[in-house]
Amino acid sequence: MPRAKVLLFARLSQLAGVRETEVEVGEGLTAGDVYRALAERFPAIAGLQGSLLYAVNAEYVAPEAPVRPGDEIALIPPVSGGARAV
C-alpha cells in the first residue's frame, strides 16, 4: 500500500519516542486522519489534536486537507519560548 512520511515535532516526538514515521495512505485520507492513526499507534499523543498545526509538503494546511502517497506530513504542537536569562 502507498505510504506517506510523517514528521513529529517538539512534545509530540518526545511523547511518541520517534521523530519520523510512515502511514499507509488510502483514498480520502486527511491530515487529521494521519494524527488520529498515530494517536492509536502512540497513545501518549492522544488528545492533542486541538492544539496542533498541520503541514503537508511544507505548507500549513487545515486538518481536512487531503494526504496523498509520497507526501510529507508534519504535526506541530504549540511551542513556547524559553525562560529569559537573568
Question: How confident is the prediction along the chain (86 residues), in pLDDT tens digits per residue?
Answer: 899 999 999 999 999 999 999 999 999 999 999 999 999 999 999 999 888 999 999 999 999 999 999 999 999 998 765 556 55
Residue 86 lies inside a defined structural domain of this protein: no
Q: Which domain holds residue 18?
A: 3-74
Residue 82 lies inside a defined structural domain of this protein: no
Residue 60 lies inside a defined structural domain of this protein: yes
Question: Residue 61's closest CA among 86, 29, 83?
Answer: 29
Strand partners, 30: 66
Residue 85 lies inside a defined structural domain of this protein: no
Kindly report the CATH number assigned to the domain that includes residue 17.
3.10.20.30
Whole-model pTM? 0.88
Number of domains within the chain: 1
